[in-house]
């Protein structure tokens, strides 16, 4: 791969600034946890697993920033501030909270060590989260590729690729795995208003991998299905409730409804770390609302009259009943329900 989403070198977090793509490949070099928190909020890095990995590295930086603080209560007070700051960045992707809990646990189990030894272990833990994510995506890709046939035209939404994860991707990981198996696959990518992750990021990463991609605007998806251009749909997820209801980028729900009407299989690919077992159903998933500037402006240019109202929910929830199968690293679950989802965790 000629690029990477996020890495950690010489005490700094390196991340590809996704706001600059596709025009420029610029890497941010961040040395303070506050900088990582801002990068997540401002979507320099985005996508549920990548947000979790970034939070892990952000907390590793917090550990490094505190390595000279030897007073225990002062250390925990400051580390607690860093944990809470990370948790305030984006509310919907549960991978964020999963990674924060993992880093907190690492800090707790190394409480008897010196601050600098603890900092080193926090860095190791964040690196582990990154490495595990890539391995999980490859497993998920293999599992999901069994559902894909040569000749399929797969519609995807937003970006659930290498850029949204430590590498390889979830929905795009399934497509990559199918292509690696020699299957001929074409992808239709929704542009994904208002942040344009499909146009800017999915199209960019598929082009780099020479996987044929056709870009459409979001409102073309229904007609593409009606015109028999789409044989399958695969999307990622930001949080899956224990009953299978799935929050993903705004517009996903409309695709699932359209897919049901047109009898097209609708798949969700996500790691187990995206399943929130404390969340009973979709109505309990917090939905992030972002700045109205994102819909009133395109590339800084105003496209709507001043003074009109707007609404900008960043995610929607697709009920489990509209999902043909959930693809995870632990296997594929057709027609997901609470019992089947629970069984994924016992493997
Ligand atoms: O707002 P974003 O770009 O962070 O939203 C990303 C998505 O909705 C992705 O589909 C999801 O996080 C899965 S990424 C593997």
What is the reported pLDDT for 54? 98
Query: What would the two tokens of residue 120 be?
Result: 């080193």
What is the pLDDT tens value at each position of the chain, 347 positions in all?
Answer: 899 999 999 999 999 999 999 999 999 999 999 999 999 999 999 999 999 999 999 999 999 999 999 999 999 999 999 999 999 999 999 999 999 999 999 999 999 999 999 999 999 999 999 999 999 999 999 999 999 999 999 999 999 999 999 999 999 999 999 999 999 999 999 999 999 999 999 999 999 999 999 999 999 999 999 998 899 999 999 999 999 999 999 999 999 999 999 999 999 999 999 999 999 999 999 999 999 999 999 989 999 999 999 999 999 999 999 999 999 999 999 999 999 999 999 87
Final residue before a domain boundary, out of 104, 137, 170? 137
The CATH code of the domain that includes 70 is 1.20.120.420
The CATH code of the domain that includes 212 is 3.40.50.10470
Mode of pairing for the β-strands spanning 275-276 and 297-298: unpaired
User: In terms of domains, do 302 and 196 share one?
Assistant: yes
User: In terms of domains, do 291 and 148 share one?
Assistant: yes
Residue 162 inside a domain? The answer is: yes
Ligand 1 geometric centre to CA of 24 (Å): 21
What is the reported pLDDT for 228? 85
User: In terms of domains, do 321 and 245 share one?
Assistant: yes
Query: What would the two tokens of residue 328 be?
Result: 């995870």
Number of domains composing the chain = 2
Final residue before a domain boundary, out of 113, 137, 161? 137
Ligand 1 geometric centre to CA of 315 (Å): 9
Nearest partner of 271 among 230, 323, 236, judged by Cα: 236
User: In terms of domains, do 149 and 115 share one?
Assistant: no
User: In terms of domains, do 78 and 183 share one?
Assistant: no
The whole-chain average pLDDT of the chain stands at 97
Query: Domain of 69?
Result: 6-137
Taking CA atoms only, the protein residue closest to ligand 1 atom 6 is 47
The three-state secondary structure class of 278 is coil
Question: Which residues 6+ apart lie within 8 Å of 223 measured at CB?
Answer: none
User: In terms of domains, do 171 and 126 share one?
Assistant: no
Please give the number of the atom of ligand 1 that sits closest to the Cα of 46. 4
User: In terms of domains, do 172 and 290 share one?
Assistant: yes
Pocket test for ligand 1, best of 41, 51, 138, 197 (most atoms within 8 A of CB): 197
What is the reported pLDDT for 180? 98
Q: What is the pLDDT of residues 202-243, one digit of tens each?
A: 999 999 999 999 999 999 999 999 998 899 999 999 999 999
Residue 205 inside a domain? The answer is: yes
User: In terms of domains, do 96 and 124 share one?
Assistant: yes
| Ligand 1, CB cutoff 6 Å, lining residues | 46-49, 93, 158, 160, 164-165, 170, 197, 235-238, 248-249, 314
If 0-12 CB within 10 Å is exposed, 13-18 middle and 19+ buried, where does residue 269 land?
buried
> Pseudo-torsion of CA 53, 63, 11, 56, nearest 10°?
0
User: In terms of domains, do 246 and 111 share one?
Assistant: no
Contact 136, 259 (CB under 8 A): no
Active-site hit among 133, 238, 276, 316 = 238
If 0-12 CB within 10 Å is exposed, 13-18 middle and 19+ buried, where does residue 33 land?
buried
Residue 1 inside a domain? The answer is: no
Residue 36 inside a domain? The answer is: yes
Residue 238 appears among annotated catalytic residues? yes
Final residue before a domain boundary, out of 137, 171, 198? 137
Task: Count CA atoms within 13 Å of residue 85 on its CB side.
Answer: 21
Ligand 1 geometric centre to CA of 124 (Å): 26
User: In terms of domains, do 102 and 85 share one?
Assistant: yes
Query: What would the two tokens of residue 145 be?
Result: 């590729």
- Rounded distance, CA 42 to CA 54, Å? 13
Ligand 1 geometric centre to CA of 108 (Å): 30
User: In terms of domains, do 174 and 96 share one?
Assistant: no
User: In terms of domains, do 127 and 147 share one?
Assistant: no
């Amino acid at each position: 791969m000629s690029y990477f989403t996020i890495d950690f070198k010489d005490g700094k977090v390196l991340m590809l600034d996704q706001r600059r793509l596709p025009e420029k490949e610029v890497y941010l070099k961040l040395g303070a946890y506050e900088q990582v928190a801002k990068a997540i909020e401002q979507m320099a890095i985005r996508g549920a697993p990548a947000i979790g990995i970034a939070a892990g590295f952000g907390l590793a930086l917090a550990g490094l920033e505190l390595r000279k603080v030897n007073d225990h209560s002062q250390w925990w007070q400051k580390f607690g501030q860093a944990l809470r700051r990370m948790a305030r960045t984006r509310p919907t992707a549960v991978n964020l909270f999963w990674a924060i809990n993992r880093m907190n646990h690492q800090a707790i189990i190394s409480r008897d060590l010196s601050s600098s030894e603890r900092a080193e272990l926090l860095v190791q833990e964040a690196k582990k989260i990154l490495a595990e994510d890539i391995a999980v995506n490859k497993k998920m890709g293999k599992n999901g590729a069994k559902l894909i046939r040569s000749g399929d035209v797969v519609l995807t939404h937003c970006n659930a690729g290498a850029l949204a994860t430590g590498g390889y991707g979830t929905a795009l990981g399934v497509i990559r795995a199918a292509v690696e198996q020699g299957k001929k696959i074409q992808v239709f990518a929704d542009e994904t208003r208002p942040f344009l992750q499909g146009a800017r990021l999915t199209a960019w990463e598929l082009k780099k991998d020479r996987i044929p991609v056709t870009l459409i605007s979001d409102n073309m998806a229904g007609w593409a299905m009606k015109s028999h251009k789409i044989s399958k749909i695969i999307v990622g997820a930001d949080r899956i409730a224990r009953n299978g209801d799935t929050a993903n980028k705004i517009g996903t729900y409309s695709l699932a409804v359209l897919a049901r009407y047109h009898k097209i299989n609708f798949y969700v690919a996500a790691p187990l770390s995206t399943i929130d077992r404390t969340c009973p159903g979709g109505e309990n998933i917090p939905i992030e609302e972002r700045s109205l500037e994102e819909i009133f402006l395109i590339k800084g240019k105003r496209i709507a009259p001043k003074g009109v109202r707007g609404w900008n929910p960043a995610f929607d929830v697709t009920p489990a009943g509209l999902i043909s199968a959930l693809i995870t690293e632990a296997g594929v679950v057709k027609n997901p329900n609470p019992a089947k989802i629970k069984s994924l965790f016992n493997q």
